[in-house]
Structure 1
Protein backbone atom coordinates (compact mmCIF):
# COMPACT_ATOMS: atom_id res chain seq x y z
CA UNK A 1 0.00 0.00 0.00
CA UNK A 2 1.37 3.39 -0.98
CA UNK A 3 1.66 5.93 1.77
CA UNK A 4 2.43 9.62 2.09
CA UNK A 5 4.67 10.93 4.88
CA UNK A 6 4.99 14.63 5.77
CA UNK A 7 7.99 15.69 7.87
CA UNK A 8 8.81 19.20 9.05
CA UNK A 9 12.55 19.89 9.00
CA UNK A 10 14.46 23.02 10.00
CA UNK A 11 16.18 23.94 6.72
CA UNK A 12 17.80 27.35 6.35
CA UNK A 13 19.55 27.29 2.99
CA UNK A 14 19.60 25.45 -0.35
CA UNK A 15 22.39 23.15 0.77
CA UNK A 16 20.41 21.78 3.70
CA UNK A 17 17.30 21.39 1.48
CA UNK A 18 19.20 19.35 -1.10
CA UNK A 19 20.85 17.28 1.65
CA UNK A 20 17.42 16.56 3.18
CA UNK A 21 15.98 15.50 -0.19
CA UNK A 22 18.97 13.24 -0.88
CA UNK A 23 18.55 11.66 2.54
CA UNK A 24 14.83 11.07 1.96
CA UNK A 25 15.29 9.54 -1.49
CA UNK A 26 18.08 7.26 -0.23
CA UNK A 27 15.68 5.35 2.04
CA UNK A 28 14.31 2.10 0.62
CA UNK A 29 10.73 2.20 -0.65
CA UNK A 30 10.72 5.93 -1.44
CA UNK A 31 9.41 6.81 -4.89
CA UNK A 32 9.12 10.61 -4.73
CA UNK A 33 10.17 13.40 -2.40
CA UNK A 34 9.12 17.05 -2.65
CA UNK A 35 9.36 20.24 -0.64
CA UNK A 36 6.05 21.58 0.69
CA UNK A 37 4.83 24.45 2.84
CA UNK A 38 5.10 28.21 2.48
CA UNK A 39 8.70 28.36 3.70
CA UNK A 40 9.65 25.08 1.96
CA UNK A 41 10.37 23.58 5.36
CA UNK A 42 8.39 20.35 4.95
CA UNK A 43 9.28 17.24 2.98
CA UNK A 44 6.51 15.12 1.49
CA UNK A 45 7.66 11.59 0.72
CA UNK A 46 5.52 9.02 -1.11
CA UNK A 47 6.27 5.36 -1.61
CA UNK A 48 5.54 1.84 -0.56
CA UNK A 49 6.67 0.43 2.79
CA UNK A 50 8.35 3.60 4.07
CA UNK A 51 9.49 3.57 7.70
CA UNK A 52 8.53 7.09 8.77
CA UNK A 53 10.27 6.91 12.16
CA UNK A 54 13.55 5.79 10.60
CA UNK A 55 13.34 8.59 8.02
CA UNK A 56 12.71 11.18 10.74
CA UNK A 57 15.71 9.91 12.75
CA UNK A 58 17.96 10.04 9.68
CA UNK A 59 16.91 13.63 9.01
CA UNK A 60 17.57 14.58 12.64
CA UNK A 61 21.10 13.13 12.45
CA UNK A 62 22.03 14.77 9.14
CA UNK A 63 20.13 18.08 9.07
CA UNK A 64 18.80 19.01 12.50
CA UNK A 65 15.39 19.32 14.13
CA UNK A 66 12.70 17.31 12.33
CA UNK A 67 9.17 16.52 13.35
CA UNK A 68 6.86 13.88 11.89
CA UNK A 69 3.65 15.71 10.89
CA UNK A 70 1.48 13.06 9.23
CA UNK A 71 1.44 9.55 7.78
CA UNK A 72 -1.40 8.34 5.61
CA UNK A 73 -2.40 6.49 2.46
CA UNK A 74 -2.02 8.10 -0.95
CA UNK A 75 -5.32 9.26 -2.41
CA UNK A 76 -5.66 7.95 -5.92
CA UNK A 77 -7.75 9.71 -8.51
CA UNK A 78 -10.42 7.65 -10.20
CA UNK A 79 -10.01 7.67 -13.93
CA UNK A 80 -12.63 6.56 -16.40
CA UNK A 81 -11.42 3.95 -18.80
CA UNK A 82 -11.97 4.91 -22.39
CA UNK A 83 -12.41 2.06 -24.85
CA UNK A 84 -9.47 1.69 -27.16
CA UNK A 85 -10.19 2.05 -30.86
CA UNK A 86 -9.62 -1.11 -32.89
CA UNK A 87 -6.25 -1.30 -34.60
CA UNK A 88 -6.29 -0.38 -38.30
CA UNK A 89 -6.28 -3.25 -40.75
CA UNK A 90 -3.09 -3.40 -42.75
CA UNK A 91 -3.35 -4.94 -46.18
CA UNK A 92 -0.40 -7.25 -46.83
CA UNK A 93 1.68 -6.31 -49.88
CA UNK A 94 -0.65 -3.88 -51.59
CA UNK A 95 -4.02 -5.53 -51.11
CA UNK A 96 -5.79 -8.85 -51.38
CA UNK A 97 -5.54 -10.83 -54.61
CA UNK A 98 -8.87 -12.59 -54.25
CA UNK A 99 -12.14 -10.65 -54.18
CA UNK A 100 -15.05 -12.98 -53.46
CA UNK A 101 -17.58 -10.32 -54.41
CA UNK A 102 -16.34 -9.90 -57.98
CA UNK A 103 -15.58 -13.53 -58.76
CA UNK A 104 -18.77 -15.38 -59.29
CA UNK A 105 -19.46 -18.83 -60.74
CA UNK A 106 -22.97 -18.00 -61.82
CA UNK A 107 -23.38 -18.00 -65.68
CA UNK A 108 -26.05 -15.29 -65.62
CA UNK A 109 -23.53 -12.49 -65.09
CA UNK A 110 -23.58 -10.17 -68.10
CA UNK A 111 -20.10 -8.75 -67.51
CA UNK A 112 -18.27 -12.06 -67.55
Structure 2
Protein backbone atom coordinates (compact mmCIF):
# COMPACT_ATOMS: atom_id res chain seq x y z
CA UNK A 1 0.00 0.00 0.00
CA UNK A 2 1.46 3.35 -1.04
CA UNK A 3 0.59 6.35 1.06
CA UNK A 4 1.08 9.99 0.21
CA UNK A 5 2.52 12.69 2.40
CA UNK A 6 1.25 16.10 1.24
CA UNK A 7 2.50 19.35 2.73
CA UNK A 8 0.29 22.39 2.08
CA UNK A 9 1.15 25.94 3.14
CA UNK A 10 -2.01 27.65 4.42
CA UNK A 11 -2.53 31.16 5.79
CA UNK A 12 -3.62 30.47 9.36
CA UNK A 13 -3.67 33.56 11.56
CA UNK A 14 -5.25 32.14 14.71
CA UNK A 15 -6.19 28.89 16.45
CA UNK A 16 -9.70 29.08 14.98
CA UNK A 17 -8.24 29.07 11.43
CA UNK A 18 -5.95 26.15 12.33
CA UNK A 19 -8.86 24.13 13.71
CA UNK A 20 -10.94 24.87 10.63
CA UNK A 21 -8.11 23.81 8.30
CA UNK A 22 -7.55 20.60 10.28
CA UNK A 23 -11.27 19.73 10.09
CA UNK A 24 -11.38 20.33 6.33
CA UNK A 25 -8.28 18.20 5.73
CA UNK A 26 -9.46 15.41 8.04
CA UNK A 27 -12.80 15.19 6.21
CA UNK A 28 -11.14 14.73 2.79
CA UNK A 29 -11.31 11.34 1.09
CA UNK A 30 -8.48 8.93 1.97
CA UNK A 31 -6.87 11.01 4.74
CA UNK A 32 -5.51 8.98 7.66
CA UNK A 33 -3.42 11.59 9.54
CA UNK A 34 -3.37 15.41 9.66
CA UNK A 35 -0.94 17.59 11.59
CA UNK A 36 0.32 21.17 11.69
CA UNK A 37 4.02 21.61 10.98
CA UNK A 38 6.50 24.44 10.45
CA UNK A 39 8.05 27.09 12.64
CA UNK A 40 5.15 29.50 12.05
CA UNK A 41 2.58 26.67 12.22
CA UNK A 42 1.53 27.47 8.66
CA UNK A 43 2.17 24.07 7.04
CA UNK A 44 -0.48 21.37 7.04
CA UNK A 45 0.87 17.82 6.70
CA UNK A 46 -1.69 15.37 5.34
CA UNK A 47 -1.06 11.61 5.06
CA UNK A 48 -3.34 9.13 3.39
CA UNK A 49 -4.02 6.83 0.50
CA UNK A 50 -5.56 8.26 -2.68
CA UNK A 51 -5.84 11.86 -1.43
CA UNK A 52 -6.59 14.39 -4.19
CA UNK A 53 -4.09 17.13 -3.34
CA UNK A 54 -5.46 19.64 -5.86
CA UNK A 55 -9.02 19.31 -4.58
CA UNK A 56 -7.85 19.52 -0.96
CA UNK A 57 -5.90 22.70 -1.70
CA UNK A 58 -8.91 24.17 -3.49
CA UNK A 59 -11.15 23.49 -0.49
CA UNK A 60 -8.62 25.07 1.86
CA UNK A 61 -8.43 28.16 -0.37
CA UNK A 62 -12.19 28.43 -0.46
CA UNK A 63 -12.81 27.95 3.27
CA UNK A 64 -9.66 29.24 5.01
CA UNK A 65 -7.60 31.46 2.72
CA UNK A 66 -4.46 31.30 0.63
CA UNK A 67 -3.15 27.74 0.27
CA UNK A 68 -0.46 26.24 -1.94
CA UNK A 69 1.04 22.78 -2.30
CA UNK A 70 4.63 22.68 -1.07
CA UNK A 71 5.54 19.02 -1.40
CA UNK A 72 4.05 15.61 -2.26
CA UNK A 73 5.85 12.38 -1.34
CA UNK A 74 4.96 8.76 -1.96
CA UNK A 75 5.74 6.86 1.24
CA UNK A 76 6.15 3.09 1.52
CA UNK A 77 3.86 1.33 3.97
CA UNK A 78 1.36 2.84 6.34
CA UNK A 79 3.85 4.43 8.71
CA UNK A 80 6.53 6.80 7.43
CA UNK A 81 8.07 7.27 10.88
CA UNK A 82 9.91 3.93 10.58
CA UNK A 83 12.92 5.66 9.04
CA UNK A 84 12.01 4.58 5.52
CA UNK A 85 12.97 6.81 2.64
CA UNK A 86 10.27 8.24 0.37
CA UNK A 87 10.15 6.58 -3.03
CA UNK A 88 9.13 9.65 -5.01
CA UNK A 89 9.10 13.37 -4.20
CA UNK A 90 7.45 16.25 -6.07
CA UNK A 91 8.11 19.85 -5.04
CA UNK A 92 6.36 22.96 -6.30
CA UNK A 93 7.64 26.50 -6.38
CA UNK A 94 4.48 28.53 -7.12
CA UNK A 95 4.41 31.88 -8.84
CA UNK A 96 3.41 34.69 -6.50
CA UNK A 97 0.59 36.12 -8.61
CA UNK A 98 -0.66 32.83 -10.07
CA UNK A 99 -2.78 31.78 -7.10
CA UNK A 100 -5.21 34.68 -6.99
CA UNK A 101 -8.91 34.08 -6.78
CA UNK A 102 -10.86 35.57 -9.70
CA UNK A 103 -12.75 38.71 -8.88
CA UNK A 104 -16.20 39.43 -10.26
CA UNK A 105 -16.56 42.83 -11.95
CA UNK A 106 -18.46 45.36 -9.85
CA UNK A 107 -22.12 45.75 -10.64
CA UNK A 108 -23.76 49.14 -10.70
CA UNK A 109 -27.42 49.99 -10.69
CA UNK A 110 -28.94 53.34 -11.46
CA UNK A 111 -32.33 54.64 -10.37
CA UNK A 112 -34.25 55.87 -13.38
CA UNK A 113 -37.47 57.76 -12.90
CA UNK A 114 -40.07 57.33 -15.53
CA UNK A 115 -41.53 60.81 -15.06
CA UNK A 116 -39.62 63.87 -14.08
CA UNK A 117 -40.72 66.09 -11.23
CA UNK A 118 -43.70 68.33 -12.15
CA UNK A 119 -42.60 71.86 -13.01
CA UNK A 120 -46.01 73.47 -13.38
CA UNK A 121 -45.99 77.09 -12.22
CA UNK A 122 -49.79 77.28 -11.66
CA UNK A 123 -49.78 75.11 -8.58
TM-score band (shorter)? 0.5 to 0.7
Q: Distance in 1 between matches of 2:83 and 2:18?
A: 33
Q: CA deviation at 1:78?
A: 6.6
Q: Which has the higher contact order (CA 8 A, sep 6+)?
A: 1
1:74 aligned counterpart, secondary structure: strand
Give the distance between the partners of 1:64 and 1:78, measured in 2 at CA: 34
Runs of 5+ unmatched residues, structure 2: 85-123
Q: How does 1:1-112 map to 2 (within 5 A)?
A: 1-74=2-75, 76=80, 77=82
TM-score, length-normalised on structure 1? 0.67
Question: What is the match of residue 114 of structure 2?
Answer: none
Whole-Å Cα distance in 2 between the matches of residues 27 and 51 of structure 1?
8
TM-score, normalising length: structure 2: 0.61
Aligned length: 79
- The two structures, once aligned, show a CA RMSD in angstroms of 1.6
Which segments of 5 or more consecutive residues in structure 1 lack a partner in the other structure? 80-112
Q: Which has the larger radius of gyration?
A: 1
